Amino acid sequence: MLELRARIFAPARDPLWGAVLSLLASLILSFAAVALSGRDALTGFADLAAGAFGGPGPLGETAIKTGVLLLTGLSVAVAFTVGLFNIGAEGQLIWGALAAAVVGRSDVPGVLLWSLLAAALAGALWGSLAGWLKVRRGVHEVISTILLNWIAIHLVHGWLVAGPLAAPGSGAEVSVAGTAPVSPAAWLPRPLAGSRLDAGLPLALAIAAGVWFLITRTVRGFEWRAVGAGREAAEASGIPAGRRICEGMALSGALAGIAGALLILGTEHRYPGVFRTGYGFDGIAVALVGGGTVWGSALAALVFGALRAGATRLQLVGIHPSFAELTQGLAVLLVAAPRIFQPLLVRLRGRALPPASAPPIPTVQP
Amino acid sequence: MNLVLDFAPPLVFAALGGVLSERAGVVNIGLEGMMRFGAFAAAAGAIFSGSPWVGLGCGALAGAAAAAVHALLSLKFRADQVVSGIALNLVALGLVTYLLQVVFGSSGVSPPCPALPRDRFGHSALAYAALLAPFLFHAWLAWTPQGLRVRAVGEHPRAAATLGVRVLPLRALCVLGSGVLAGVGGATLSVGLLGQFDTRMPAGQGFMALAAMVFGKWTPLGAAAAAFLFAAGDALQRQLSFSLHAADLRLEGVFLALPYALTLLVLALGIGRSRAPAADGVPYDPEA
């Protein structure tokens, strides 16, 4: 019995249990907050579940959000692999979304595919810019990606979508509506009637499988991980670390770019004048809670996606949908400090074992 | 010029907060979240007490409370400082939106709150404080023993420790001070400028303050100068869009992106030596 417990809660699994515990604790904390403000927390919880999983409609909403979160989460996780902390998924997502909205307006055959590729390319360019700045100019990626986010947000929302790319016949009212709509051939197919479920989640899952294979089963992936684990050691063994970092950031940006394309081609069908996604920032939460791994991110994306979809239902009992953001923030807050749960895990394990090494979050050294 | 004195103070206070925390060796990208807490608490405090000055105090306290979480996580539990800052921003986004709904039953703006008194030029005391604070801060950091200790724990904490400086408590104090400054910056937006809380606050100003800190090379005077420069750019942009029919060109976005692009350019070209404090972001373990 003791043996089994020690194995289930083995130190190597500390990141996993840390993630599970922080998710649980954050849910409990936010429901406590709801109860404290005098709302019926239990009914709220039931509504949340119904809004996320009750029938094809809610399931579709959960799937859409999970797909996008999975891609932005992977984007951050891939950057972790090469040892970079990519805060810039939001900016990369925005360029990807714009590229998809522009290319999606044409009527060439296979426009859906071209739109997705254009989005990936746009995101990859913005992402590798941060990689290049890091490698060539020594600019720390946390700072550069924060700056690049705001450059993208202001250029796209404050200028391109409002001005040059606004729908033709632009009066003040029209430009609020954003760019001209994409052609229906570029829409993501929706296989189920009565649900907005689209091809986004399957696509995201396929990409996740590809990323997993690339990182864990190929030479290139091994080199990426080697660079992430120690740049100088990797360089000493003949790996061109700078090139690998740029490649990793390009893939990271491409993933965020495709996430933007899913939003445009799946639900918006144009680049809207008001486009507050936050999915790029949420990707950081997904990757962190997922321990920087592909499947951990998938699980975290599902939890946060369901939370977001279900939270819209909470309004019925007077709970603001920002509940989802609150829970998500608390989860990151708790997962940020793995040591909080260390004493508990040691007790669950049943006997004193040496603590596991830290989860694969790179330390920041500007 | 009048507009500049309106736009600059929130940026100046928050940027100084960033300088304080990072010179002591703790990365603070939670400025945005601390400003948000500060802006909301200031409006709420002013509404319930009827005095904008009490509101300002509440804003400072709320910023400090948020910073305490950052200090606890990153110093006691040795969390990654970037992660902890991001988490703080996420919590601020959700929690303040939630509180706005619970306390004022609104998902957009709070009711109007008493605003700070303005002089005949239309400025509140905070505008003048923002002009003065950078010089005081500079003098403190450069010429006093405490300032030297702060710089020491940010550059080489172990050396500071061998001289008897208690690294972690000092870092914690600096993070708290950073929260106070960011909270005041946020309060400047609500009780200082708008006279109410808007759920979009601080609309990226915390990140712009971060950019100003980097642009100003982690020095109080540099960061404040950068904050004024960015505010001047913002003011110019608004003047242009009123006068020049620039609204037809819709170039606001280009102007708004300029501060960030400038900062990035300065970093990329390495103009002057722009360097973070040596131990910025490196956790300190007293037992190692």
Tell me, what's the pLDDT at A314? 77
CB distance B45 to B57 below 8 Å: yes
B-proximal residues of A, 276-315, CB under 8 Å:
281, 284-285, 288
**Chain-chain contact of B86 with A363 (C-beta, under 8 angstroms):** no
CB distance B236 to B255 below 8 Å: yes
- pLDDT tens per residue, range B130-169: 888 899 999 898 899 888 888 888 888 888 878 888 888 8
- Going by the DSSP 8-state scheme, the letter that residue A108 receives in this structure is -
Tell me, what's the pLDDT at A151? 92
- Closest alpha carbon to B218 in B257, B161, B267, B268: B267
- pLDDT tens per residue, range A287-338: 988 888 888 889 889 988 988 888 878 777 777 777 788 888 888 888 877 6
- Closest alpha carbon to B283 in B176, B141, B172, B146: B172
- pLDDT tens per residue, range A127-186: 999 999 988 888 888 888 988 998 998 888 878 887 777 776 555 554 456 777 777 777
What phi and psi values does residue A331 have, to the nearest 5 degrees? -60, -45
A-chain residues near B264 (CB < 8 A): 133, 139, 144, 147-148, 151
What phi and psi values does residue B198 have, to the nearest 5 degrees? -115, 135
B165 contacts: CB under 8 Å, gap ≥ 6: B149, B152, B153
User: In angstroms, what separates the C-alpha of B139 from chain A's closest C-alpha?
Assistant: 26
User: How many pairs of residues across A and B have Cβ atoms under 8 Å apart?
Assistant: 173
Find the range with the poorest average confidence among A187-196, A212-221, B212-221: A187-196
pTM of the prediction?
Answer: 0.85
Q: Residue B109: beta bridge partners? A: B198
Tell me, what's the pLDDT at B273? 54
**Chain-chain contact of A323 with B92 (C-beta, under 8 angstroms):** no
pLDDT above 70: residue B245: no
Tell me, what's the pLDDT at A350? 67
ipTM of this predicted structure: 0.83
- pLDDT tens per residue, range B93-138: 888 988 888 888 777 888 887 777 777 777 788 888 888 889 999 9
- pLDDT tens per residue, range B50-64: 888 888 899 999 999
pLDDT level of residue A99 (50, 70, 90 thresholds):
very high
**Tokens 């804003």 sit on residue:** B59
Candidates B90, B237, B258: best to mutate against A (most CBs of A within 10 A) is B90
User: In angstroms, what separates the C-alpha of A128 from chain B's closest C-alpha?
Assistant: 14
B260 contacts: CB under 8 Å, gap ≥ 6: A147, A148, A150, A151, A154, B208, B211
Residue B77: enclosing H or E segment and its boundaries? none
Tell me, what's the pLDDT at A289? 86
What phi and psi values does residue A324 have, to the nearest 5 degrees? -65, -45
Find the range with the poorest average confidence among A242-251, A319-328, B178-187: A319-328
**Tokens 């004022």 sit on residue:** B104
CB distance B10 to B66 below 8 Å: no
A345: which 2 tokens? 């895990």
CA distance B35 to B18: 12
**Chain-chain contact of B261 with A322 (C-beta, under 8 angstroms):** no
- Closest alpha carbon to B183 in B28, B40, B29: B40
Tell me, what's the pLDDT at B1? 63
CA distance A51 to B149: 54
CB distance B182 to B38 below 8 Å: yes
- pLDDT tens per residue, range A1-15: 667 777 777 776 766
Highest mean pLDDT among A202-216, B108-122, B150-164, B251-265: A202-216
**Chain-chain contact of A150 with B208 (C-beta, under 8 angstroms):** yes
A-chain residues near B93 (CB < 8 A): 322, 325, 329
- pLDDT tens per residue, range A35-71: 887 777 788 788 888 888 888 888 888 888 999 999 9
**Chain-chain contact of A284 with B254 (C-beta, under 8 angstroms):** no
Phi-psi group of B75: left, alpha or beta (phi > 0 → left; psi -120 to 50 → alpha; rest → beta): alpha
A317 contacts: CB under 8 Å, gap ≥ 6: A39, A40, A43, A44, A47
How much is the average pLDDT of A96-117?
A: 87
- pLDDT tens per residue, range A109-119: 888 888 899 99
% chain A with pLDDT above 90: 23
pLDDT level of residue A364 (50, 70, 90 thresholds):
very low
pLDDT above 50: residue A366: no
CB distance B181 to B14 below 8 Å: yes
Tell me, what's the pLDDT at A358? 47
